[in-house]
Amino acid sequence: MKSRFEREDRSPSRIAPATQAVYALAAGFAIATLALLSACRESVAPGAHAAADDAHMRAAIEERGGADKAQLLEGMRVFSQETFGGNGRTCETCHALGSGTFGLADARERYAKNPHDPLFRAIDSDDGDGKSYDRLLKYGTVRVTIALPPNVKLADDPNATAVTLFRRNLVTHDVAALDPVLMWDGRAPDLPFQAQDAIRTHMQPARAATRAELDAVAAFQKAMLFTSDDMRAYANGGAAPSLPPGRSDAEKRGREFFVAQPVDLKTGHGICAMCHGGPRLDTTTKEIERFFPPVPFVPELPPAGLAAGIRFGFTNVSAENKPGYPVRKWLLEGPGGKWTPFESPDLGIALSYTQIASLPPEFAKYPAFFFSEIFKIPSLRGVARKAPYFHDGSAATLEEAVEHYQRFLHGGFGFLQPQARIELSEQDRADIVAYLKLL
CATH number at residue 63: 1.10.760
Read off the amino acid at residue 286. Answer: K
Any domain includes 161: no
Q: Is the separation of the CB atoms in 421 and 66 below 8 Å? A: no
User: Where is the domain boundary, 202, 235, 268?
Assistant: 235
Instruction: Verify that 19 and 110 share a domain, yes or no.
Output: no
Confidence at residue 303, expressed as pLDDT on a 0 to 100 scale: 76
Nearest in space to 246 (alpha carbons), one of 31, 37, 438: 438
The number of CA neighbours under 13 Å toward the Cβ of 421 is 8
Residues 89 and 209 in one domain: yes
Half-sphere exposure of 389 (CA within 13 A, CB side): 26
- Provide φ and ψ at 234, rounded to 5°: -60, -45
C-alpha distances in Å from residue 157, one per residue of 7, 328, 373: 22, 9, 20
In this structure, the number of other CB atoms found within 10 A of the CB of residue 192 comes to 18
pLDDT at residue number 412: 60
Find residue 164's DSSP bridge partners: 145
Query: Same domain for 99 and 206?
Result: yes
Q: Are residues 26 and 131 in the same domain?
A: no
**217 vs 42, 70, 104, 430, CA distance in Å?**
24, 12, 26, 39
Q: What pLDDT shows up at residue 184?
A: 95
> Looking at residue 27, what is its pLDDT?
35
In a domain, 183, yes or no: yes
Residue 159 counted as domain residue = no
Distance CA 101, CA 103 (A): 7
Is the separation of the CB atoms in 414 and 408 below 8 Å? yes
Supply the Cα-derived Rg of the chain in whole angstroms.
21
Residue 290: the pLDDT is 85
The whole-angstrom distance between residue 247's C-alpha and the CA centroid of its chain comes to: 29
Question: What per-residue confidence (pLDDT) applies to 418?
Answer: 61
Per-residue pLDDT tens digits of the chain, which is 439 residues long: 444 333 333 333 344 333 333 333 333 333 333 233 233 333 334 455 667 788 888 998 998 889 999 999 999 999 999 999 999 999 999 999 988 999 999 999 999 999 999 999 999 999 999 999 999 999 999 999 999 999 999 998 999 999 999 999 999 999 999 998 999 999 999 999 999 999 999 999 999 999 999 999 999 999 999 999 999 999 999 999 999 999 999 999 999 999 999 999 899 999 999 999 999 999 999 998 888 787 777 777 777 777 889 999 999 999 999 999 999 999 998 877 889 999 999 999 999 998 888 787 777 788 888 899 999 999 999 999 999 999 999 999 999 999 999 998 887 665 556 667 889 999 999 999 999 999 9
Q: What total number of domains does the chain contain?
A: 2
Residue pair 219/72 in contact (Cβ under 8 Å)? The answer is: yes
The one-letter amino acid code at 10 reads R
Given this model, what pLDDT does residue 123 score? 96
Asked if residue 149 is part of any domain, the answer here is: no
C-beta separation of 346 from 185 below 8 A: no
Query: What is the model's pTM?
Result: 0.86
| Residue 370 belongs to a domain | yes
- Sorted by sequence, the CB contacts under 8 Å of residue 337 that are 6+ apart come out as none
Q: Is residue 5 part of a domain?
A: no
Same domain, 176 and 265: no
Q: Which of the listed residues 210, 235, 260 is the one where a domain comes to its end? A: 235
Same domain, 84 and 137: yes
- Is the same domain home to 99 and 172? yes
Residue 157 lies in a domain: no
Pair 308, 176 in one domain? no
Identify the pLDDT of residue 338.
87
CA gap 329, 147 in Å, rounded = 16
Same domain, 396 and 429: yes
Closest to 165 measured CA to CA, from 318, 26, 340, 19: 318
Is 4 within a domain? no
Shared domain check, 173 and 298: no
Q: Do residues 109 and 170 both lie within one domain?
A: yes
Q: How far apart are CA 407 and CA 395, in angstroms?
A: 13
DSSP 198-259: HHHHHS--SSPPPHHHHHHHHHHHHHH--SBHHHHHHHTT-PPPPPP--SSHHHHHHHTTTS
Domain boundary among 235, 255, 277: 235
Residues 6+ away with beta carbon under 8 Å from 278? 285
* Residues 256, 331 within the same domain: yes
Instruction: List the domain range (segments joined by +) for residue 326.
Output: 12-40+241-436
